[in-house]
C-alpha cells in the first residue's frame, strides 16, 4: 500500500479536523524517526493509521475489545483509550497492514506501555507534539524531543498523568507502568 492510498482510507474514517491532526502526526513522526533512527516508512504508516478507529461507535469498539481478547479492563477506563487497540485490530483487518511493529505503535499510542519499542515511542510522542497541538507544556516537550527522546516521552506522560489527575479522571495502569519504566531505566548519560 502506498501513502496516498493509506491517507485515502483514513480520510474516510475521521473528521476533517482529525485528518489535519493526522497529517501533523505524520510530519512529526517522520522527523522523530529520522532524528532517532526509527524506520521512516513504518513511522509514516503508523502515524497515518494511528487514529483510524477514533470515530467508531462506542458499542462497536466495546464489542471488538471483548471479542478479540483485548484487556477487558480497558472498558473500565475512559473510552478515549479504546481507539488505539481497536484501531490496530481494524487496520490489520480492513487495511491489510500486518507489520506487528506498526500495529503495536498504533495499539499503544494512547496508553504507552513498559519497554516501548523505538517506533512506539516515536508515534506516542508524535501524536503529543504534532504542530497543531496547543496546550500547556507542549512547547517544552517539543524542545526536549529535539534533544532526547526518552526524556520527552517521560515529560509527555507526566503531563498527561497530571492533566488527568487534576480532572479527577482515572489513569490506565499501563500508562503508570510506562512512566515508571522510563524513570527507572534512564540512561546513565541522561
Grid cell for residue 152: 520527552
CB 128 within 8 A of CB 110: no
Contacts of 39 (CB under 8 A, 6+ apart): 33, 101, 119
pLDDT digits (tens, 9 = 90+) for 93-128: 999 999 999 999 999 999 999 999 999 999 999 999
The model carries a pTM of: 0.95
Mean pLDDT check: name the lowest of 10-14, 56-60, 71-75, 84-88. Answer: 71-75
Taken in order of first residue, the domains within the chain and their CATH numbers are: 3-134 (1.10.3210.10)
Task: Determine the pLDDT at residue 186.
Answer: 81
Tell me how far the alpha carbon of residue 33 is from its chain's centroid: 14
CB 48 within 8 A of CB 8: no
Distance CA 85, CA 106 (A): 7
Distance CA 13, CA 49 (A): 10
Amino acid at each position: 500500500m502506498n501513502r496516498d492510498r493509506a491517507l485515502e482510507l483514513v480520510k474516510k474514517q475521521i473528521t476533517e479536523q482529525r485528518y489535519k491532526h493526522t497529517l501533523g502526526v505524520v510530519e512529526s513522526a517522520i522527523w522523530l524517526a529520522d532524528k532517532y533512527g526509527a524506520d521512516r516508512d513504518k513511522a509514516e504508516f503508523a502515524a497515518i493509521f494511528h487514529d483510524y478507529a477514533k470515530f467508531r461507535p462506542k458499542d462497536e469498539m466495546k464489542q471488538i475489545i471483548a471479542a478479540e481478547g483485548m484487556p477487558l479492563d480497558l472498558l473500565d477506563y475512559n473510552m478515549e483509550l479504546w481507539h488505539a487497540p481497536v484501531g490496530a485490530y481494524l487496520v490489520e483487518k480492513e487495511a491489510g497492514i500486518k507489520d506487528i511493529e506498526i500495529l503495536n505503535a498504533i495499539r499503544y499510542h494512547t496508553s504507552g506501555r513498559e519497554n516501548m519499542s523505538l517506533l512506539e515511542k516515536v508515534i506516542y510522542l508524535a501524536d503529543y507534539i504534532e504542530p497543531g497541538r496547543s496546550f500547556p507544556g507542549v512547547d517544552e516537550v517539543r524542545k526536549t524531543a529535539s534533544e532526547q527522546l526518552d526524556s520527552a516521552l517521560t515529560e509527555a506522560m507526566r503531563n498527561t498523568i497530571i492533566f488527568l489527575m487534576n480532572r479527577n479522571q482515572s489513569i490506565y495502569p499501563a500508562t503508570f507502568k510506562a512512566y515508571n519504566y522510563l524513570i527507572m531505566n534512564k540512561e546513565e548519560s541522561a
